[in-house]
Amino acid sequence: MDDDALLAEQRAYYQAGAEEYDRPYTEYEGLRNLLAAVDDLPISGDVLELACGTGQWTPGLAARARSVTAVDASPEVLALARARTASPTVRFVEADLFTWRPPRRYDTVFFAFWLSHVPPARLPAFWTTVAAALAPGGKAVFVDDGPAAAAHEEARADGPTPTAVRRLDDGSRYRVVKVFHDVRTLADDLTARGWSVHVRTLGANFVGIAEPPAAAGR
């Protein structure tokens, strides 16, 4: 299956499973701890949140930011995010993140559990988009699953794009892109691209803070 077909199936999964999306946040203490970690991250100014989902992270961002622009491709999860987030400083945008381009620059670009859903072949373009979205001095802040989290997924890495099979309560199954990034490899890759980056592990997850090459923020 090529990346376009995988990404279409990934979007279908999040649309069909919007009502089940929040369940892991009630079941896993590690996720609740990660949500609390937002208070210690350099979130400030005007924030762009990529793949906001049902808005689990959005209120915490809004509490630290001047404004938040939260983007997701699924209208079903965006409806839940709007219901969860009452702040007048938050604006929601429905858009495909693989084709959408930010119309302006931001002080912070934040994404939680999105990097692992970007096919490896599209990572260079993704980081270029993030860099272009950052104002001078801005930072990308990201949270995701490390390799240890693969034990909790029905994961497959036998093709050019690693995948996982996700099952919904109605018995339907979907393949999603799922890349369990090694922290050191991720940091080395970003450094080779000219980014200044610090990535730390938190249990089976990791938190990263990265600044793009100086020329990208001009």
- E strands, the chain, are 46-50, 67-72, 90-94, 106-112, 134-145, 154-156, 163-167, 173-177, 196-202, 205-211
Angle between helices 3-16 and 75-84 (to 10 degrees): 40
Q: Are strands 205-211 and 163-167 parallel, antiparallel or unpaired?
A: unpaired
Question: Does residue 215 have a pLDDT over 80?
Answer: no
Between CA 211 and CA 143 the distance in angstroms is 15
| Number of neighbouring beta carbons within 10 Å of residue 56 | 21
Domain 3-212 has CATH 3.40.50.150: yes
The pTM for the full model equals 0.95
**Non-local CB neighbours of 177 within 8 Å, separated by 6+ positions:** 3, 6, 7, 10, 116, 117, 118, 119, 161, 162, 163
Q: What confidence tens digit (pLDDT) does each residue in 94-105 have? A: 999 999 999 999
Q: What confidence tens digit (pLDDT) does each residue in 103-148 have? A: 999 999 999 999 999 999 999 999 999 999 999 999 999 999 999 9
> What confidence tier does 46 reach under pLDDT thresholds 50, 70, 90?
very high
Type of residue found at 157: A
